[in-house]
Structure 1
Amino acid sequence: MRNTAGKNKNAADELAATDNIEVVEMDVADDELVSNGFNYIINKYGSIDVLINNAAVTGFGVAEGYSIDAYKKMFEINFYGAIRTYQAALPVMRKLKQGLIINLSTGASGFSVPYMVPYMASKFALETFIEGIDSELREFGIENVSIPCGVYSTGMADKGGHNADRSEITAEYPDFEPRLAALGTSMFGKMQEFDMNPQAIADGIQSLIDMEKGFRPLRYPIDAIAQGTDQEFITAKRKIKRKWAAKYGIDF
């Protein structure tokens, strides 16, 4: 957790008082804090059995309306944050030849939507990393899973700070405001219709942890709103990839 001695002290203290929970100061956007946090846990417990990459930020706006710096800030947490934790956890996982890494992605991780392009791009990058490194880690007995999840009421979108920051560019898009409002209304309406409780994600993570080693899927969608179309997309993509790989003579 970030700022355990500052604004998050009360939450950190409450968690630390709970059985089987140890709170460690860490910020996935900070190389040193990630390294220190993981080293502390590894030195104390000797291993990391499961790593869950859940930290993320989102934002809204036209793609052109984001400065390069704003794009970088999005990727710093959503993409590079996960890379940092992988690099911190993999040495001990490889040594012990076991480990499970679960990554929270997005339900649209195979395609993009307007007015959320930087966020989607960061998740595309994460999905590409997960898919590629999965083959590389197989010989070490390390399993690697992406959870493409749908729209849940977690409060992530309420924090702000990662929206388009070039207002003069955004002003050149006359239909932006009503279209963004329509997108928000649609997502919020679907959240209510399908009762998108974040507990479903926690239950899904527990299910993955409880699965027999060697039988965990690369992608494990949890999105009631998609009504199975997410799994349909994943299955079709996997089939096409296998055909492509066969043409190139590549063994994944």
Structure 2
Amino acid sequence: MSKVIVITGTSTGFGKLTALTLAADGHAVIATMRNTDGKNKLVADKLSNIDNIEVVDMDVASEPSVTDAFEYILKKYGNVDVLINNAAVTGFGIAEAYSIESYKNMFDINFYGPIRAYQAVLPSMRSAKQGLVINLSTGASGFSVPYMVPYMASKFALETFIEGIDSELRDFGIENVSIPCGVYPTGMGEKGGFNADREEITLAYPDFGQRIGDLGKAFYSKVEEFKMDPQTIANGIKSLIDMEKGTRPLRYPLDAIAQGTDVEFITAKRKIKRKWASKYGIDI
């Protein structure tokens, strides 16, 4: 059955592939992105010419932009069945060498961005007593990565938000899913994000250049070895949407590089978390 689906950050990468995949499956896709009259005009125009896709300008870092976009969407379509929080930025550098402003900028998109979208769509989903929110995440709930600390921290915060709000929304029939997706060649790191901006601090770490280079080589070699195809994520999102209500998992890892260790961690964490929470009399 065709659904009304809103996707954030559709100018490139997972967002664009997911929009194309779901539109081809017959869903009504609202592909949102910022700067549709500027740097993203070309891709916005191309997506707009594809059946079942409407492009709407929305900047997840701007509350007025998110509010206006969802007001338009809900007025035109009447409801939103699925929200896909995909828009995100990355960044590299020494954790100490990030200014507080750069930390805030990272969180504004990766953490507050999804929350803005949640808050804009939840009233209508609660009223309908149904809805699905899919969030593109990372392995941050399992471990952090040096030289990507602000990015990992923003995603870990998002994981915590998803886990808590899922319990709060259960009585309204609204499901939440996080996809820890690992490393894929989406060009995300090349689009520009928020890198460490306190150069004088970076210079105090003389081996930083070598270490960040080694990290990049390690990531790239794994991407090549496991033939990481971004279409895997789009197909995974389609699978989640096709699942029967009530059967969707809270976390849906799609990371071949992890070789099952992500599933092992998530399963163990879920069991221990519930046991721990039960000691406080909390049902999660």
User: Under TM normalisation by the shorter chain, which class is it?
Assistant: over 0.9
User: For residue 207 of structure 1, what is the aligned residue in structure 2?
Assistant: 239
CA distance in 2, matches of 1:221, 1:39: 32
Superposition pairs of residues 48-197 of structure 1, within 5 angstroms: 48-197=80-229
CA distance in 2, matches of 1:135, 1:108: 21
CA distance in 2, matches of 1:59, 1:183: 13
Task: Determine if contact 1:107/1:223 at 8 Å carries over to the other structure.
Answer: no
Task: Determine if contact 2:140/2:153 at 8 Å carries over to the other structure.
Answer: no
CA distance in 2, matches of 1:99, 1:109: 24
CA distance in 1, matches of 2:245, 2:89: 31
> Are 1:13 and 2:45 counterparts?
yes
CA distance in 1, matches of 2:193, 2:43: 22
Q: Which moved more, 1:85-94 or 1:155-164?
A: 155-164
Task: Provide the aligned C-alpha RMSD in A.
Answer: 0.8
| TM-score normalised to structure 1 length | 0.98
Q: Deviation digits for residues 142-185 of structure 1, max 9, x if unmatched?
A: 00000001100011101234110001001111221111111100
Q: Deviation digits for residues 95-128 of structure 1, max 9, x if unmatched?
A: 0001000000002332211100000000010000
Q: Deviation digits for residues 38-85 of structure 1, max 9, x if unmatched?
A: 111100111000000000000111100000000000000000000000
Task: Determine if contact 1:59/1:163 at 8 Å carries over to the other structure.
Answer: yes
Q: How many residues align?
A: 252
User: For residue 31 of structure 1, what is the aligned residue in structure 2?
Assistant: 63
Which amino acid counterpart does residue 2 of structure 1 have in structure 2? R
Which amino acid counterpart does residue 40 of structure 1 have in structure 2? Y
**Which protein is richer in strand relative to its size?**
2
CA distance in 1, matches of 2:60, 2:198: 26
Q: Deviation digits for residues 189-210 of structure 1, max 9, x if unmatched?
A: 0000111110000000000000
Which amino acid counterpart does residue 151 of structure 1 have in structure 2? V
Report the secondary structure of 2:183's partner residue.
coil
- Listed as ranges, the gaps of 5+ residues in structure 2 are 1-32
CA distance in 2, matches of 1:208, 1:142: 14
Tell me which stretches of 4 or more aligned residues in structure 1 moved more than 4 Å: none
CA distance in 2, matches of 1:162, 1:101: 26
- Listed as ranges, the gaps of 5+ residues in structure 1 are none
CA distance in 2, matches of 1:90, 1:100: 10
| TM-score normalised to structure 2 length | 0.87
Which amino acid counterpart does residue 216 of structure 1 have in structure 2? R
Percentage identity across paired residues of the two chains: 75
